[in-house]
Structure formats: C-alpha cells, structure tokens
Amino acid sequence: MAFFGLASLTTLAACSGTGLPSGPSSALGATGTRAASTQVRAGGAVTPSVSNPYPFTQGDTFAYAYTLTHSAKPTGKPLNKSYTTGSIATTIGSTESFDGKQLTDVNEVFTYTNTDSGHHTTGSGTLTTDEYETFATGKNGAVDYETYGDTTSGNSSNSDGSTSATTSTLTYGNAFLLDVLPETPKTTFKEEIAYTLDSDDQTTKDGVTTNDQTSYQRNSDGSYTRSITRSAPSKSTFQENDQQNSDGSGQTQNNGSGPTAGTTTFSAPVESGGKYYITVVYTPPSGPATTTQVPDWFPGNGPARHLVTDEKKDLGSVSVPSKCGATAGQSAVELRESITALDVVQGWYNTETLDSYVVSGEGVVCIDHQRLLNTYDNLVTGDLMTAEHFNELTSLTSESQARLRNKHLTLGFASTLR
C-alpha cells in the first residue's frame, strides 16, 4: 500500500481505471492496494534523542514539481502515451481530530494538466488532500513515523466538456508506517494492513450529472469487499458488489443490462492435465448459467501466493539522482518500497517500486515511482489484454523562507533551493 503525501496526490491525474488507488482517489475505482509511498512531511512529538530528518513546524510550506508519462500497449495495437504535469503545495497544519485520534494535518494541493500523445490538453484539475500523521514510540527505542489516513476533495474539467468532482476518506485499521527512525541501513518493514476507502464522484456532461458512490474494505491479506452505486436522472440505479477471497477466488454481481449483468464467480486456480485453470461461472439475470475453464493468468501460475505484498527497505546513504532537479547531488537516505497486487475480479496484476530520497532537514525531496499494470481477459481466454507503464517523478523545488532561516540557524548551512 502506498500511495502518501506526494505519491498519494499524483496518480489521480493519470487515472487508469483499474481500481489501484496509488493516491487517495476514488477516481481510480477505489478497489485495489493502497500504494502508499513515504510521506513528505509530518507533525507531532519526537523523542529528542532520535535523529529526525522530517521538518514538521506548523506553517512551513514546501513546493514540488510533478511529471507522469503513462504508456499503454493493448495487445495487437499501437503503443499510446499520455502525460501529466503539475505542482504540489504542501503546508504543515495544526493538530486535528481524525478517527478519534489527535494528529497533525498535512495539507497538500495538487494542480495538474493532462495531455495526449500529441501534447494536446485533455483535462486539468485540482486535488486537495489532508493527511493525518504523527510520530510515535516504536520498538527498541525507535520512533515510528505514521499516518492514519486522509480526506481528499477535487475538481476537474475535460476536453469533452465534462466536469468532475470527487471526495474520499481513507482510514487505516492500524497505523501505516511511513518510516522508522533513526534511519538504519538494511532495515525492512511490512505494510500490508487493512483499510477502508469511501468515495463519492460526480461527473456532469451536457447538463446531466452521474453520481458514483463507492465503499471499499480491504483486509491485510488482500481480500476485499466493494460496493458501487451509480445514479443518474431518468435511469435505474446501478448497483455492483465485488468480493475477493483470501484463496484467490471471488465474485462480482450487478443489476445492469449489459453482457456482464448478473453474477460471475471465479474459483481459485485448480490443476488439470498438468495445467492450471480458473473456473468462471456466469449466471445472467435470466436463462442458464455458463461455465468457462479460463487458463490461469496469475503470476507464476497456480494458486495465488500473495494477493498483496508491500515491503519497505532502507537502502542506506546515496546521492540524490540528477533526475530530481534542484536537490540532485545532496546526501540522502534511499527508502525503497516494493508493492505487488492481484485482483481476481477485475483481472489485473500490478507491481510498483517507489524510491524515496530523504534529506536531513528536508524530508523526502524526491520520489521516483515506477508502476507496471497488466490487465487480462479473466472471463474467457486468460490472455494479456493491455500492458501499462506509469513513470512518475515528484521533486522538491522550494520551501518557505521561514524554513530556510530555521535550517540556517540549526543546521549551519543554507539550502541550495531558491
């Protein structure tokens, strides 16, 4: 699970429709892993004897640049690319109540523009996230940098004349670890925890507004339940309910009128004749059920080894890479988060790597996020349908003068950022 702070804001702009909320965005369908990257800022009390690289003074502000290249290759069709550019303004806020806890509100405003392969503008928008964070005493005298969730709201407009508005609330079942202090090379920690994500999305085109409400509950093992309710004037309310089980089986049911209306169940892969197959049973609203033995498309074939994995590792001291712009060359600690997620019902497998560079006194100055998403025909053939690559980069460009003065006094040097 990832992804928050910078990475949590970003993937909305290139919404893939897969249900992988890399950010707190229901526009992604709110149905997958929470790809949570290292947060950029934090607030709260920290044990003085532990070195803390994350600034957290209320009122501090930070600015970041964001770029995304999204490449999609449908099987048998040409490669298609789209792009997103934007900026993120982060402000350390006051102590607020969230999920019954007193936590620091870290406010982030993401402003973005989407363009197609010809670099023609296809849409733009603003997404505001309030993430609720703290520092807490961890094991063996360590300090845990934690988040308990976030609230998000956003608005966008598209070249087809439509406009969208979205709100969502993400709540973790337990504290989600963003980092463990002091930074210690080769330290690893797991991030597979439960969460709920509730969202409301409204899309208006030609004066008609369609409303989607989604409620998603994911367990730590990757099993989940999801419900979607879609309403529009003069149309019957659409209802869909999805379930993924811990053994890799699942089902989806909806009351629509299309070719998937009714109930579809997916078995866990079972071996037959030396090969694995997934039994898919489709029961329409009326008429007989049909059964299809779909060749197993799970990674590695056979029963699902993991529905979700999320591990973070401290890779030790490095120099910030040149691609990160203004902070390139500074001494940093690299945190690498590796994520995998399998969705039986939606028919996709996702892998991600996030490299976050933490500079003392600056926090995370750069996030290099690489994501691969393969979507399969999970109803008939098991064949790969589309391969997608998301190449995201978020980098610090400036910080408040108050923060610069404080750094000069406490650390003995002035920032190279202006």
Contact in structure between 194 and 219 (CB atoms under 8 Å): yes
Nearest to 377 by CA among 350, 341, 348, 351: 348
pLDDT of residue 242: 98
pLDDT value, residue 320:
97
* pLDDT of res. 49: 57
Distances in whole angstroms, Cα of residue 296 to Cα of each of 75, 76, 136, 269: 18, 21, 44, 6
Distinct helix (H) and strand (E) counts, the chain: 2, 21
Contacts (Cβ under 8 Å, ≥6 apart) of 37: 2, 3, 4, 5, 6, 7, 8, 337, 354, 356, 367, 369
- Domain boundaries of the chain, sorted by first residue: 6-251+313-411
Q: What is the pLDDT of residue 193?
A: 86
Cα dihedral 133→13→321→117 (10° resolution): 180
Task: Classify residue 405 by its DSSP letter.
Answer: H
Per-residue DSSP letters for 31-61? -S---PPPPS---S---TTS-------TT-E
How many CB atoms are located within 10 Å of the residue 37 CB?
30
Distance, CA of 191 to CA of 308 (rounded, Å) = 10
What are the tokens at 331?
Answer: 């001494």
Name the pairing type of β-strands 384-399 and 61-74.
antiparallel
Q: How far apart are CA 35 and CA 25, in angstroms?
A: 11
User: Cβ neighbours of residue 127 under 8 Å, at least 6 residues apart?
Assistant: 9, 12, 13, 23, 25, 109, 110, 112, 152, 153, 154, 166
Q: What is the pLDDT of residues 373-413, one digit of tens each?
A: 999 999 999 999 999 999 999 999 986 644 443 443 333 32
Successive 10-residue mean pLDDT values, the chain, 418 residues: 32 34 27 33 50 87 96 97 97 96 97 97 98 92 93 97 98 94 91 92 97 98 97 96 98 94 97 96 96 97 94 96 96 96 98 96 94 98 98 90 40 29
Structure-token pair, residue 291? 């059964």
Q: Give the position of tokens 């940098």.
A: 145
Residues with Cβ < 8 Å from 180, sequence gap 6 or more?
138, 142, 143, 144, 145, 187, 189, 314
360: tokens are 């003392």
Specify the residue for token string 């209306």.
Answer: 261
Report the alpha-carbon distance of residue 19 to residue 7 in Å, rounded.
16
The answer to whether residues 28 and 22 touch, using CB atoms and an 8 Å cutoff, is: yes
pLDDT value of position 43: 44
pLDDT at 287: 93
Q: How many CB atoms lie within 10 A of CB 97?
A: 10
| β-bridge pairing 163-181 and 143-158 | antiparallel
pLDDT for residue 38: 36
